[in-house]
Amino acid sequence: MLKRLSFSQGVFFTACCIFAMIAIVRSFNQILEVLARQSLNEWLYFGVFSFASALVITSLYRAISSKYSETKAGIRYISISFFVVTVTCYLVLKLQDPKGTDYQTSLALFVSSSLLGAGWWVQATINSAAARKAHTVSTIMNHRYSEYFFKRNDNFSNMFPIGCLINPAVIEHALSPTKSRYKDIKFADGQIQAAKDLNYVMNFYEFIAVGVSSGDFDEKLIRDCYEGIIIGIEKRGFHMIQFMRRTQGQKVFCSLVDLVDKWTDNQSMTTQYKNGNQSLDLGELTPSQENIDEMIRERDLNRATKASAEIVTQATNVTSIDTAHHVNSVDQGIPQP
């Protein structure tokens, strides 16, 4: 499918068409005379040459693009350009005036220069792809042997195994403890740290997604190694993404979500929720919302009890001060009201 031309491309294309039409109109009679002089055999030779050129160029295109997939986009345009060049060269050599200017040397130089340029581009693209793949392998191996990463990943996985979704209350308290609605709630040991570990793990895969989208990592290799993990971490970190976007903006983890959408045809949990799907199958909340509500009631009860105790203590202190003041006044013979 052809892409829509940009404004500058549209201007250049329109100008080219206009000048071509003017040239054809001005030389219309001459063109008709040249065509009238051509015999059927010459048209047959032209057809054989054109289709043979198309066959050779198409075969080369398939061979190179299948072996080096990273060249597929650019080499398509090179193939089309070479087909146009070969056909043009044939027509120029066939239709040129024998007594006029000889274009054979110029065309040979032009074709050889084009071949050298195309070969250089293909080699440069292959070298760039090889370097990108080597960088990707290095990153994967460094990640594979990172004890710190797997320590935090294992801590989160042990606290919230597959099928258990971390409760948004834990995420809010872990990432914003001073502003959290769940301040002073006693969560189970390790849950707060596990939420922080999830944030760390998701940031690593966000880094991987950014590298893929910017072309720094080989996407095929990354997909072969991490596809299931990245799709799973986006699902398990759904509430993490929602909280971070509410507090820090809608661009948080955008590369991770975009990569999951690309691999799953816009089926990431974040995108489905954004599109209005409120019944996502995310798994069982841990701790459950009932436990969170119970902890909130217990916290509020403790706060009320503590506040009542403070009021009683303050009242007792005031009474003690008044009594002491009364006793001192009596001892000193000061009349009391």
Instruction: Give domain status of residue 333, yes or no.
Output: no
Q: Are residues 116 and 229 in the same domain?
A: no
Does 199 have pLDDT greater than 80? yes
| 125 and 160 inside one domain | no
Rounded to an integer, what distance in angstroms lies between the CA atom of residue 269 and that of residue 280? Answer: 7
The predicted structure's pLDDT at residue 318: 58
Q: What is the DSSP letter of 187?
A: P
Examine the domain organization and report whether 151 and 117 are in the same domain: no
For 270-303, what is each residue's pLDDT tens digit? 999 988 887 887 888 888 888 888 877 877 777 7
CA distances for 45 relative to 41, 48, 168, angstroms:
6, 5, 74
pLDDT at 321: 59
Please check whether residues 51 and 105 belong to one and the same domain. Answer: yes
Mean pLDDT within 46-69: 89
Residues 125 and 181 in one domain: no
- 283 and 150, same structural domain? yes
In percent, the amount of the chain with pLDDT more than 70 equals 89
Asked if residue 164 and residue 98 are part of one domain, the reply reads no
Q: Is the pLDDT of residue 109 over 70?
A: yes
Q: What angle do CA 109, 110, 113 make, to 5 degrees?
A: 80
| Among 199-203, 308-312, 319-323, the range of highest mean pLDDT | 199-203
Query: Poorest-confidence range of 19-33, 184-198, 227-241, 296-310?
Result: 296-310
Q: Are residues 125 and 168 in the same domain?
A: no
Confirm whether pTM is higher than 0.75: no
Domain count, the chain: 2
Rounded distance, CA 75 to CA 65, Å? Answer: 7
In a domain, 13, yes or no: no
If one compares 217 and 96, the residue with the highest pLDDT of the two is: 217
> Looking at the predicted structure, is the pLDDT value of residue 198 above 50?
yes
> What is the rounded average pLDDT of the residues 25-30?
82
Confidence of residue 115 (pLDDT cuts 50, 70, 90): confident
Q: What is the pLDDT of residue 101?
A: 67
| 88 plus 212 within the same structural domain | no
* DSSP designation for 69: G
pLDDT above 70 for 97: no
Judgement on whether residues 111 and 154 belong to the same structural domain of the protein: no
Share above pLDDT 90 across residues of the chain, in percent, rounded to a whole number: 36
Rounded to 5 degrees, what are φ and ψ at 286?
-135, 120
Element (H, E) at 166: strand 164-166
Domain check: are 104 and 184 in the same one?
Answer: no
The yes-or-no verdict on residue 162 having pLDDT over 90 is no
Task: Tell me what pLDDT residue 51 has.
Answer: 93
Angle between helices 254-264 and 219-236 (to 10 degrees): 110
In this prediction, residues 38-47 reach a mean pLDDT of: 82
For position 1, what pLDDT does the model report?
Answer: 44
Per the CB < 8 A criterion, the answer to whether 271 and 149 are in contact is no
Q: What is the mean pLDDT of the chain?
A: 84
User: Which is nearest to 286 in space by CA: 198, 181, 161, 197?
Assistant: 161
User: Domain range holding 114?
Assistant: 20-130
Greater model confidence, 168 or 334: 168
Phi, psi of 166 (to 5 degrees): -65, 135
Confidence of residue 205 (pLDDT cuts 50, 70, 90): very high
> Do residues 89 and 111 touch, judged by C-beta distance below 8 A?
yes
Q: Is residue 317 part of a domain?
A: no
Q: Residue 181: its pLDDT value, please?
A: 76
Q: Determine which of 60-74, 91-105, 188-202, 275-289 has the lowest per-residue pLDDT on average.
A: 91-105
Task: Let me know whether 104 and 163 are in one domain.
Answer: no
In a domain, 306, yes or no: no
Q: Which of 64-73, 169-178, 191-200, 299-308 has the highest mean pLDDT?
A: 191-200
pLDDT tops 70 at residue 148? yes
Is residue 2 included in any domain, yes or no? no
Residue 125 has pLDDT above 80, yes or no: yes
Domain membership of residue 51 (yes or no) is yes
